[in-house]
């Protein structure tokens, strides 16, 4: 694939605040119509990275393009073609849904504002609530309004910063159906999230910790390339079992998942040898399983901590 085929193509991005390196030598390539997820702990540099990619923040070092524009010299041109949805609801709570959208349309200087707003209300199912004050909306409806505001000027790139935080499961599912529909139309989406089920719905993922890109690829690639072997165990006394096996040779992680434990490591033989005595204990049911995406991210986080210590 030629470099010109990428909507985002950046190398070496770095950013510091008050002498602290928040993003360190970041590089990424994103194709048109992709949903690209950013994962990582709070304070890992996800939001700073996303803002640098779209011209909202100038990097201290690095170079590249977004939507065909140079991120250093043509930031204003990039901003005009980007829709940005922040984690915190940022529209006017004392205005109605329609008034908010009309105000945003005025800001962008859109012609035929009424037609544009009408189409936006229709597209996201807001017609019946258009007179309702934004401040009285539930989290899910506020989310839908914020997305409508992002799309008014028909952007080519959407930036979504933890867009479903505090939203109920049905609203999250509806939101992601809309995001996939937008991607199918050719809109590129960058989204940061802490939810594993949302990560699995992205076309590709980047995992960032302590300002560095640790891994990127499709969800399945990340699982396969992790090298993890995971055993699932169900039964009684799991808390006691976890304490007993967590420091055994080959055991790198012991993580509770509901009524079971995931016992994982990258040396399959050592791991199996260590847990063999426990596999014959009465009341415990062991099974070999593919590691989950959450297993992989926990492993990445532990390795990042170890590299810093």
Cβ count near 301 (within 10 Å)? 18
Burial letters for 187-225: b for 16+ Cβ neighbours within 10 Å, e otherwise?
bbbbbbbebeebbbbbbbbbbbbbbbbbbbeebeebbee
Beta bridge partners of 10: 28, 64
Q: Which two tokens stand for residue 292?
A: 């989950």
pTM > 0.85: yes or no: yes
Query: Which SS3 state, helix, strand or coil, does residue 109 take?
Result: coil
Tell me what pLDDT residue 227 has: 92
Quick one: which of 25, 55, 23, 49 has its CA closest to 36? 49
Tell me what pLDDT residue 121 has: 92
Tell me what pLDDT residue 307 has: 62
Burial letters for 59-93: b for 16+ Cβ neighbours within 10 Å, e otherwise?
beebebbbbebebeeebeebeebbbbbeeebebee
Question: CA–CA separation, 188 vs 97, rounded Å?
Answer: 25
Tell me what pLDDT residue 181 has: 94
Tell me what pLDDT residue 43 has: 82
Tell me what pLDDT residue 306 has: 64
Tell me what pLDDT residue 89 has: 78
The radius of gyration of the chain from alpha carbons, rounded to an integer in Å, stands at 23
Per-residue pLDDT 10s for the chain (309 aa) are: 555 679 999 999 999 999 899 999 999 999 999 999 999 888 888 889 988 988 889 999 999 999 999 999 999 999 889 999 887 778 889 999 999 999 999 988 998 899 999 999 998 888 999 999 999 988 888 888 999 999 999 999 999 988 887 778 888 888 899 999 999 999 999 999 888 888 999 999 999 988 889 899 999 999 999 999 999 999 989 999 999 999 999 999 999 988 899 999 999 999 999 999 999 899 999 999 999 898 898 888 887 776 655
Question: CA–CA separation, 169 vs 138, rounded Å?
Answer: 13
Q: How far is the CA of 291 from the CAs of 5, 130, 151, 265, in angstroms?
A: 33, 45, 37, 10
Q: Which domains does the chain have, with CATH numbers?
A: 3-218 (3.40.50.300), 227-290 (3.30.70.920)
Question: CA–CA separation, 242 vs 240, rounded Å?
Answer: 5
């Amino acid at each position: 694939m030629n470099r010109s085929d990428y909507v985002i193509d950046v190398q070496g991005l770095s950013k510091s605040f008050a002498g602290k390196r928040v993003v360190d030598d970041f590089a990424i390539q994103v194709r048109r119509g992709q949903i690209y997820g950013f994962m990582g702990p709070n304070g890992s540099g996800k939001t700073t990275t996303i803002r640098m990619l779209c011209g909202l923040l100038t990097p201290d070092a690095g170079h590249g393009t977004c939507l065909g524009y140079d991120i250093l010299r043509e930031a204003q041109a990039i901003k005009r073609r980007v829709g940005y949805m922040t984690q915190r609801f940022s529209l006017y709570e004392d205005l109605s849904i329609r008034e908010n959208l009309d105000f945003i349309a005025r800001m962008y200087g859109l012609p035929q504002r009424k037609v544009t707003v009408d189409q936006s209300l229709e597209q996201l199912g807001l017609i019946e609530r258009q007179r309702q004050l934004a401040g009285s909306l539930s989290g899910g409806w506020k989310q839908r309004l914020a997305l409508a505001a992002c799309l008014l000027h028909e952007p080519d790139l959407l930036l979504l910063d933890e867009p479903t935080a505090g939203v109920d499961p049905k609203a999250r599912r509806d939101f992601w159906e809309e995001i996939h529909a937008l991607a199918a139309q050719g809109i590129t989406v960058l989204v940061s999230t802490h939810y594993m089920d949302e990560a699995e719905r992205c076309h590709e993922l980047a995992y960032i910790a302590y300002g560095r890109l640790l891994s990127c690829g499709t969800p399945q690639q990340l699982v396969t390339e992790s090298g993890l072997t995971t055993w699932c165990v169900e039964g009684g006394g799991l808390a006691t079992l976890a304490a007993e096996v967590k420091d055994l040779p080959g055991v790198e992680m012991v993580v509770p998942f509901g009524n079971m434990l995931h016992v994982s490591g990258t040396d399959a033989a050592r791991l199996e040898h260590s847990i063999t005595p426990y596999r014959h204990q009465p009341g415990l049911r062991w099974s070999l399983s593919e590691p989950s995406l959450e297993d992989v991210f926990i492993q990445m986080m532990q390795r990042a901590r170890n590299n810093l210590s």
